Structure 1
Amino acid sequence: MGHKPPSGLSFEFSADDDRLMESALRNSELPDGDPDELPDDLLTSPRKSKRKSSPKHPDETIDLHGKTQEEAIRMVQNFVKTSHTHGLRNVLIITGKGLHSGTQGPVLKHSVEQWLQRNGTPYLQEFHDAPPRHGGSGAIWVRLK
């Protein structure tokens, strides 16, 4: 079974990310203004679905193993927005299962899911646990708009 070669896109966090993000958002097609005046399809929160069917391979993947919660959220923000800008449709966020998080459980996974739910509206259709072949409960499959 062949694997898709890496796309060459980079999703690591750097000091320039804030400036790049501001520039990208200035040039985006996302409307400004009062949320009450935006079309409903932009306001519908992405949902965590129970759907488990996914394409065989994601268009792109990011691995958050070893990252702090703050680093992970910044990387996810950059990853989702960059992936959406490049027209990707199915991406994989590997959070890990939180086996070393003690009684807290999977801290990164919960934080990433919260970010997707609260901030992903302009970019996401849905997200769910990845299929077992792509990490199962230790990864999040994201379907972009």
Structure 2
Amino acid sequence: MARRRTLRPDEEELWQAVARSAQPLHPQRIRSHTPKAESAQHMVEAKGHSPAIPHFRVGEKARHVPGHDILPALRDQLATQPLRMDAKSFARMSRGKLSPEARIDLHGMTLTEAHPELIRFVLNAHADGLRLVLVITGKGSRRPDDHGPIPQRQGVLRHQVPLWLRMPPLGAVVLQVAVAHLRHGGDGAYYVYLRRGR
């Protein structure tokens, strides 16, 4: 099958003359020979809108575009989750007014070490009838920004623990997860509010 190519200006002019004189067999199915990108560009220009991509000339210095993170911060992710516990208790917990009944420190553990420890701790706390526990993850080691093709976030445990707390078997016993108040560790710890035992 022959590949489609772009028409030269003289060929384009000839094609337009032929196209104007032709009668379509099926007027409802008229298709243009121009590629979709070109026709979309012509439509944008015809409507008077400027293209979304800024104009750039060869040899011109590239404008620095600051990197952006499409994933919201952990604090924002947790804040957008629905409130499943009493609003007054949640407000007191967020301000650090409620004291955790137990705590676990996952600081310095690998993901494979931390996951079973977290499961054991939370399920035991729920079995013991505890309601509020503190999970300390740490903020992660400081390192320069990662600009690789697949950037890795600082504080792997800090980002993984909220996911584990929503997944089975912990999701069934966890009612609410929130970032801890500064007096209990701030961004390096989470309050985990557990459901009542049955």
Determine helix, strand or coil for the equivalent of 2:193.
strand
Q: Could you give the per-residue CA deviations for residues 83-124 of structure 1, whole angstroms, max 9, x where no partner exists?
A: 000000000000001134664311001111110112222101
Retained in 2: the 8 A contact 1:95–1:108?
Answer: yes
Please, what is the CA RMSD of the aligned residues?
2.0
Q: Which has the larger radius of gyration?
A: 2
Higher relative contact order (CA 8 A, sep 6+): 1
After TM superposition, the structure 1 = structure 2 runs for residues 5-44 of structure 1, keeping only pairs within 5 Å, are: none
Q: Greater share of strand residues, 1 or 2?
A: 1
Question: Offset at 1:127?
Answer: 0.4
Change (3 A) 1:107 1:131: same
Aligned match for 1:67, one of 94, 97, 109:
109
Retained in 2: the 8 A contact 1:88–1:144?
Answer: yes
Relative to the length of structure 1, the TM-score reads: 0.61
After TM superposition, the structure 1 = structure 2 runs for residues 33-112 of structure 1, keeping only pairs within 5 Å, are: 48-49=78-79, 53-54=92-93, 55-100=97-142, 103=146, 104-112=153-161
Q: Could you give the per-residue CA deviations for residues 38-78 of structure 1, whole angstroms, max 9, x where no partner exists?
A: xxxxxxxxx94465531431000000111111111111000
Change (3 A) 1:98 1:129: same
Question: What residue in structure 1 maps to residue 172 of structure 2?
Answer: 122
Among all aligned residue pairs of Structure 1 and Structure 2, give the percentage whose two residues are the same amino acid. 37
Question: What residue in structure 1 maps to residue 184 of structure 2?
Answer: 134
Which moved further from structure 2: 52-61 or 88-97?
52-61
**Number of aligned pairs?**
99
Retained in 2: the 8 A contact 1:53–1:131?
Answer: no
Stretches of structure 2 that go unaligned for 5 or more consecutive residues are 1-76, 81-89, 147-152
